[in-house]
Structure 1
């Protein structure tokens, strides 16, 4: 029988954390997560990717339970293929927020993730997907982005660095939306007050678990609320400096099986 893990809930980000740069999960990481599961722990994916972009990965990992998607705006049940809970970003507020940002920094290029298990990622002219393996539909003009309910808006600026754009966006947007940075070239607007922590807390409650039971792994500033909520936050070696500053522990990079390194130690 496997040794019980010190934490009953393992929350992992995907990009830059569990996934390697080629979008795969190493055999070592799979073995470590399987050993933790045999010891009674639950693995919960907590990602910025919307549910439709996560489904193939969940299937590959053999996950048939809950997954927190869309930066916490979606709670998806992989077993039933349905959305347990979701919150949308008001499209009028999103458009207003985008206008306020452009008033400060000039033109930005935008994309949206539509709500729902079959929602599309739409990109306006000029927007380039930071993650080229993720499918997206290019639309002819911006107003098409607002035709269906959305979970978030993704922003890119032709000159500003991500940190600069995120800082300006937070000041400009105020309470219209929550601004996050989830990866290179990925500054996002999501419903106000929604974070990975809110989604993780909801999922944990449904599993009968709590923050005290949780170890979380991440690499970007959008993981900061999740670290603040969980009992123990582990930042990857490749993590953003803002996340490293609030982490309880640093581990190896996503390319060097950083999650497995920690889980193997905890499993003894």
Structure 2
């Protein structure tokens, strides 16, 4: 166990652990492994905070956070919502102007042809609405099908989700960024998930607000993620750790690359930084790749 001890001596423990969910803390079946739960318990025992920072809106994480025993804060909706888990209320939220969202969609479709859209409504009971042709990238997440696109705009929304029948995510996101301009922030949060969110809103803005509530700052923060929407969070935090199968754009800015979500990559790092010898010894350590 000499190597993990030596590494921990070079890199300090952090007071705030910010983790993405899909592709990062969650396994492919939307569960958190026992090993990851134990590692997060070690973090709490050391006096540090765990903060979920996710693209999912608050209603889509309520049950998961309750299962994890969370009672504090969570950053949801790509940074558009700061959610008080214990009180089940939004401390802060920002919505995407629906007229601007329609204009942005029109500009994108003028370049690439028809896209299929969905929206996440604002609020702790907001629904995910999908227009005909849109297929949810996470089939376990509930959604309500509407008859026409204009039915998406009936209530305030936090973001728009886009899919194209032929273009890949990187190409669609690139076109959207080129034509949308200041109408919205364009991000990519997972396979089949290109999103429009309020201009200037990112995971970093939400994380910064949550950290301020906790009396902490970027120098206190260790962040984990797997997709380009995590890049602003990595830029803000003192250290960013990408998963083994993360998008190349995130790996390019990461300080470290750990194992995949299926191999408990988050837990591996947390055990090294916070785990006692018996905790680490319970699992055979695996080799990590390090960015220079």
Query: What range describes the TM-score normalised by the shorter chain of this pair?
Result: over 0.9
Superposition deviation, residue 267 in structure 1 = 1.8
**Aligned residue runs from structure 1 range 189-204, under 5 A:** 189-204=196-211
CA distance in 2, matches of 1:140, 1:169: 25
Pick one of 20, 25, 36 that aligns with 1:18.
25
Superposition deviation, residue 238 in structure 1 = 1.2
CA distance in 2, matches of 1:166, 1:236: 21
TM-score normalised according to structure 2 size: 0.90
Specify the SS of the correspondent of 1:7. Answer: coil
Pick one of 160, 165, 176 that aligns with 1:158.
165
CA distance in 2, matches of 1:14, 1:35: 19
Pick one of 85, 95, 100 that aligns with 1:78.
85
CA distance in 1, matches of 2:233, 2:253: 11
CA distance in 2, matches of 1:6, 1:35: 12
**Aligned residue runs from structure 1 range 116-195, under 5 A:** 116-195=123-202
**Aligned residue runs from structure 1 range 240-259, under 5 A:** 240-259=247-266
Deviations 1:185-207 (A, max 9, x none): 00000000000000000000000
Pick one of 69, 72, 78 that aligns with 1:65.
72
Pick one of 106, 122, 133 that aligns with 1:99.
106
1:42 aligns with 2:52: no
CA distance in 1, matches of 2:266, 2:133: 36
CA distance in 2, matches of 1:82, 1:130: 26
Aligned length: 265
Structure 1: gaps (5+ residues):
none
| 2:282 counterpart residue number | none
CA distance in 2, matches of 1:188, 1:140: 21
1:232 aligns with 2:239: yes
Deviations 1:67-123 (A, max 9, x none): 000000000000100000000000000000000000000000000000000000000
- Structure number with greater Rg is 2
Specify the SS of the correspondent of 1:223. Answer: helix
CA distance in 2, matches of 1:7, 1:187: 31
Deviations 1:41-91 (A, max 9, x none): 000000000000010100011111000000000000001000000000000
Runs of 4+ in 1 over 2 A off after TM superposition: none
Pick one of 228, 231, 248 that aligns with 1:221.
228
